[in-house]
Chains A and B, each alone.
Chain A
Amino acid sequence: MKISNESEKKYLRETKKLLIGDSKKKNDTLKAYQNEIEEYLEEKPNATYDNIVEFFGSPSEAAAEAAAEVPIEYVKKRMGFKLWIVFGILCALLMWGIGVTAAVIDAHSSTGYFVETLAVEEEYENDNIQMLTDALSTEENL
């Protein structure tokens, strides 16, 4: 059903954010609120958001009262799932932190340039010199 009243829309949106329980229960609760708010608005078409809160309770009150009806098994299951998510996020943060720390340490300890060493074998060098000397002497003879 389309919601045309802005105050009603705001109230239902805020209540939806705070509701817990399975999606069927949430939808049933919102539907019940929507029905009754529309009855109220039929009688008081100029009612503001505050008037709705005064008559129906604040979104947090609505969610808290509805939560009291949610079975404890569901809450425990949901809490367990949330704890795993928090644990996962903490692990990811820890790994990211280790990576950043390692990169910072590496940056501080390096000189900023590479040193490359070339080793030329002495025998090979002597052969080249000999070849060069031979070539020069041949040129002189000519």
Chain B
Amino acid sequence: MQVREHFKRGVSEIAILHLLNERDMYGYELLREIGKRSQNKFVLKYSSLYPVLYRLIDKGIISDTQKLVGKRRTRVYYHLTEMGKEYYEELKSEYYYITEGFNYLMNYQENDNENQ
């Protein structure tokens, strides 16, 4: 569904930062954790995840480190920087502020307003 994809796009950045605030993760791990923790209601594809990661690295919000796994494979771990931690806290409060307002909007009734 196209609408759902738009919603997901809007909040994917917070979801990624939320997980990276816990610990460093690699791309596939991020996708897997997002799906698992949201009970598969918020499933991101790597095609949507990669540009967000790329943009966050560009802004200095996260950094990437390559680690050798086994003999030949490299794994790219993403790490939330100090600046990223501040950015995440700001973004989170913005998110709660907006969702609270949005909940008011969706549950608004004329009578409630008259009573206040």
Contact = CB atoms under 8 A, between A and B. Distances in A.
A55 interface: yes
Contacts, number: 54
Contacts of B72: 1
Given A35-B74, A39-B75, A57-B45, A65 B50 contact: yes
B45 A56 contact: yes
Interface in B89-105: none
Interface in B29-77: 29, 31, 45-48, 50-51, 54-55, 72-76
A72 interface: no
Given A1-B72, A32-B76, A65-B48, A55 B54 contact: no
B27 A62 contact: no
> Dominant SS at the B interface?
helix
User: What band does the interface of chain B fall in when counting residues whose beta carbon is under 8 Å from A?
Assistant: 10 to 19
B28 interface: yes
Interface string A29-69: 10011011011100000000000000111100110111011
A74 to B, nearest CB: 15
> Dominant SS at the A interface?
helix
B55 A69 contact: yes
Interface string A1-44: 10000000000000000000000000001001101101110000
A32 B27 CA distance: 9
Nearest to A52: B46
Given A1-B72, A33-B46, A56-B45, A66 B27 contact: no
Contact of A36 (B46, B48, B51, B54): B46
20 contacts: A1-B73, A32-B76, A33-B50, A35-B27, A35-B73, A36-B28, A36-B31, A38-B73, A39-B28, A39-B29, A39-B75, A57-B46, A61-B47, A62-B47, A65-B48, A65-B50, A66-B47, A68-B51, A69-B51, A69-B55
Given A35-B76, A38-B73, A57-B48, 4 more contacts: A1-B72, A35-B26, A35-B75, A65-B47
Interface of A: 1, 29, 32-33, 35-36, 38-40, 55-58, 61-62, 64-66, 68-69
